[in-house]
Amino acid sequence: MEIETSSGNPSGLSTSEVAILRGHLERAHREAKARLLRQQAVATEADPFTEALDAAEQTREQDDAVESVERDRALLWEIEHALAKMDAGTYGVSELSSEPIGFPRLDAVPWARVTADESEE
């Protein structure tokens, strides 16, 4: 059985693999965006009539939400960058070495920018 590779993509990924990975990226994008909206609401929400202990808990929850918002913003940027690379035909290729990243790594981390070996260095 011959594997159909995605035309113009130097990654060596088949068109079905690219479709699977696009699905992973789009799902991760939706999930991160939904978390971001929820956490932004928590980060900005404040109850002016709270007891001292409740206020401390509320502040901790808001601090945690702010950290989560920052993580999700960074993740959204990575996902959007990967989708843009997919549209440009450069997805699945290391940004350091131009070597193919490989389906197993991209299946685990679809927004990966470098090969597994390069990420360990």
Q: What is the pTM of this model?
A: 0.73
Which residues of the chain have a pLDDT value below 50? 1-6
Residue-level pLDDT at 10: 80
Residue-level pLDDT at 70: 84
Helix H, strand E, coil C: the string for the chain is CCCCECCCCCCCCEHHHHHHHHHHHHHHHHHHHHHHHHHHHHHHCCCCCCCHHHHHHHHHHHHHHHHHHHHHHHHHHHHHHHHHHHHHCCCCECCCCCCECCHHHHHHCCCCCCCHHHHHC
Residue-level pLDDT at 57: 63
Residue-level pLDDT at 1: 29
Residue-level pLDDT at 5: 46
Residue-level pLDDT at 64: 64
What is the rounded (10 degree) CA torsion for 76, 82, 83, 84?
A: 110
70-101 pLDDT, tens digit each? 888 899 999 999 999 999 999 999 999 999 99
